[in-house]
Chains A and B, each alone.
Chain A
């Protein structure tokens, strides 16, 4: 069978080679064509956000060609960026995301270090448990958490519901498990010799963590930070359930609930708000794309 194939391929080799390179050129052209199609599909909504955000309400209700801006205006941006309410949402979102990122790192990095390097009683179980926790979705826990916070309020008088800081307690449940998980992966990939050398030199465990592990696993740390930030910035269900007063809302909930006034949709402003709300993760992504992607893939390929 194989000799036959070789005999057949022998004399036609030249022709075959030429056709193959032509095939490849066509394959490349088709690849670009389909990639362009998919890019259009993937980028239409964000581009449409930009287009609409540059229109005045008069132009939107005039029902002209929706894909083109005839009289570009920045009035939507000016209006939102000078509105105290919108700035309040932005501020709430920023402070919540920032504190959650710090909390997440403070909890997950030491824990990941202990789980990756210091084998102790129950550590494999705990590592598995952390991964399982990551798989528990927010839509499973929002009702019991809501009731829990209401009960705490009744029992101790500490107001948690309808306060933005309640989000500082619940967001880490979404960020910490994944960050711990990928940090375990990054820490485990550091050669053992490195920390053994540090221990021999008389470093304590904490010094090994801060002087060796954190600097060496810095790319992982950045990826985990980006993940924690994007998750807490984008979270929608928890703030929708736990906060209701306008001055306590974060961006995603604020935009969806307040810019829609009754049945009147001010689409120019909604799109502007959505675009401004999407800006921080997009900017981070634009500058730190490689870390962002490393964080995404690390969850499945490491550990």
Chain B
């Protein structure tokens, strides 16, 4: 930091000393070059991320026709609606359950892939990552068809075992289950890849030492693998929590929030209210409720990232 200040001072000093320095020289100066190199990035973030974010706060304080300032009117309106509290509850259930299962399945699958001979790992890894590669909107259509009420391939398979038809997307409990299932299917491979990379970075000597000390497989995982992977697990989980919490595609295509808003989460509810019912201020207020949870996750991730930055 001190270094930067000194350098900054020197540049400023030399600039005042040589007032007739040509434009060419100015353009060669490090800070000028750096400024121009980062300018497009700064403009993009300022105009298309920061400004809309602030604008959204402004919008949330207007009435439906956007003529009048209503302060917290939209928020108090939402607080009084049962649907809104249902959305809050469902978003939390959806995000937490999905992330826990994604992390668990990802961890288990990563272990199995790590277990098999290195020769075959590439092939398995390549196969198991496919759900993450397919655009979620496309793969959710396949799930929608698998869940189809009259031609459901799942129900066909279940009927072979004598299990009655399941109303996958029509029944509230099953619809919630299906939405989470598809999200887990889509996200678990990402965890798998991250954990696999982390598993590979655990030094083999630690396992040898643990084996000499007589640790069984469970103790090896608990005392060697998990502590070594703690950072990656934390950062992947937090990141996934943000993405899952803000998920839109899967719920929208699978159920559009139905039946009776029983699978509605923040993003789909904001879309329903803000775009489909064209009450933009109310929609903006709904999506603003994501901010606190996202902010908490972001702070933890940031702490982790900067810690890692200091270590390296």
Contacts and interface: CB of A to CB of B under 8 A. Distances in A.
Contacts of A78: none
Interface residues of A, number: 100
Contact of B248 (A60, A169, A236, A282): A236
A144 B151 contact: no
Contact of B249 (A42, A60, A236): A236
A237 B248 contact: yes
A139 B41 contact: no
B133 A28 contact: no
Contact of B305 (A131, A169, A236): A131
B56 A143 contact: yes
A123 B49 CA distance: 19
B230 interface: no
Contact of B236 (A52, A169, A275, A300): A300
Contact of B41 (A28, A176, A204, A265): A176
B40 A48 contact: no
Given A66-B153, A144-B53, A278-B139, A118 B30 contact: yes
Nearest to A32: B116
A25 to B, nearest CB: 12
Given A52-B145, A128-B302, A256-B141, A146 B40 contact: no
A126 B38 contact: yes
Interface in B195-250: 197, 214, 232, 235-236, 239, 242-243, 245-249
A78 B235 CA distance: 45
Given A130-B41, A146-B275, A204-B28, A42 B128 contact: yes
Interface string B124-147: 111111111111111101110110
Nearest to B184: A41
Interface in B115-129: 115-116, 122, 124-129
Contacts of B185: 41-42, 45
A35 B113 contact: yes
Contacts of A126: 38, 41-42
Interface in B35-92: 35, 37-38, 40-42, 44-45, 48-49, 51-53, 55-56, 59
A220 interface: no
Contact of A45 (B59, B146, B248): B146
A140 B189 contact: no
A205 B267 contact: no
Contact of B52 (A148, A286, A300, A301): A148
Contacts of B148: 265, 267
B115 to A, nearest CB: 4
A274 B138 contact: yes
B112 A31 contact: yes
A241 B55 contact: no
10 contacts: A45-B142, A66-B156, A123-B34, A137-B290, A139-B290, A177-B45, A205-B28, A255-B137, A282-B134, A285-B129
Interface of B: 3-4, 7-8, 28, 30-31, 33-35, 37-38, 40-42, 44-45, 48-49, 51-53, 55-56, 59, 105, 108-109, 112-113, 115-116, 122, 124-139, 141-143, 145-146, 148, 150-151, 153, 156-157, 185, 188-190, 193-194, 197, 214, 232, 235-236, 239, 242-243, 245-249, 252-253, 266-267, 270-271, 274-275, 280, 283-284, 287-288, 290-291, 294, 297-298, 301-302, 305-306, 308-309
